[in-house]
A = this chain, B = another copy of it.
Amino acid sequence: MKITMAHGSGGDSTSKLISGVFSKHFSNKYLDKLGDSAVVPGASRLAMTTDSFVVNPIFFPGGDIGRLSVCGTVNDLLMSGAVPKYLTAGFVLEEGLDTEDLEKIVESLQKTAEEAGVQVVTGDTKVVEKGAIGGLIINTAGVGFVPEGIDLGPEKIKTGDRIIVSGYLGDHHVAILGSRLGIENDIVSDAAPLGEMTRALMEAGLGIRAMRDVTRGGLGTVLNEFAESSGKEIRVEESFIPVSPTVKDFCGILGLDVLYMGNEGKMIVVVSPEDADSALEIMRSSKYGENAVGIGEVMEDSDSPALVLRTEIGGLRTVGPLYGEGLPRIC
């Protein structure tokens, strides 16, 4: 089998590649959970994650590869309930890259690290031939500590739980795609570190079951993973899915489905029904969550657990994870 761009989509093909090639060999009790970060025992509990950023272009409306490479990794740690502490930064540079551009990116990375409350503690630099990678690739790995008593994960999801999304979907996707196609619009990437929001949720002691940032593969892929891990149907009201008017128009023109669009500063929270209102209020009063909204709930156990949309005219439609390519090099 040959690798195709679809293997990088974050959807179905990526997941097949991971289970077919990686999980088979690397199997251990931490990795087998296939979370976005691994929680491993330490003197305290450590969370670890890694992400390589291959976004093209490296500067885009609302951000750059430097900001992205902090947000992606920090958010992965946050979703496991961890407090992010340290980042490593591995740069693969292309011969001919302008060091002024590199410096802008490094500065943006550092500024975002400060915003997220993490320190970049070690790094590595490699150079590859011109024309190879479109500027640079950044890998960031992150380490955080998981406080006592915190134990989140899609396997904790219960029937009746509510699904909240933290804001408008698709902005990062449209910012990247618009920028590549040269389409003028005022949409900027939503790339943001979500620590303020998750910290407030954790500190409130609510019945949070699981959190997940909605990146490559989009809402449709995340909620299918949640359905599968919990063994339950997840039902979402299509009309409640938050999308800004400009993104909605952009998607309409290009025939894109917001369910599969990537974001870099949006998350899903699954919370007990009695705490749903409090969670929503906390999210709405935090920096990157003002447009948070409840979109659905967790139904009964199911033999074929899936994401089901209730459409605007009242019908039910089962929705799979992303198949095929998605947008290459979105993060």
Contact = CB atoms under 8 A, between A and B. Distances in A.
Contacts of A46: 42, 46, 86, 143
A134 B123 CA distance: 23
A92 interface: yes
A239 interface: no
Main SS of chain A's interface residues?
Answer: mixed
A131 to B, nearest CB: 8
Given A128-B54, A143-B143, A42 B40 contact: no
Interface stretch (A26-34, A174-182, A183-191, A271-279): A26-34
Nearest to A39: B121
Contacts of A129: 5, 328
B31 A99 contact: no
A124 B92 CA distance: 16
A291 B92 CA distance: 34
A30 B106 contact: no
Contacts of A18: 123, 125
What is the count of identical protomers in the complex? 2
A43 B110 CA distance: 25
A21 B120 CA distance: 14
A51 B124 contact: yes
Contacts of A6: 127
A247 B252 CA distance: 64
Contacts of A100: 1
A134 B94 CA distance: 13
B52 A7 contact: no
14 contacts: A1-B99, A3-B93, A3-B95, A5-B95, A25-B107, A25-B109, A26-B89, A31-B123, A48-B88, A50-B90, A51-B90, A53-B126, A128-B134, A128-B137
The 4 closest A-B CB pairs, nearest first, are A8-B127, A141-B141, A43-B43, A50-B88
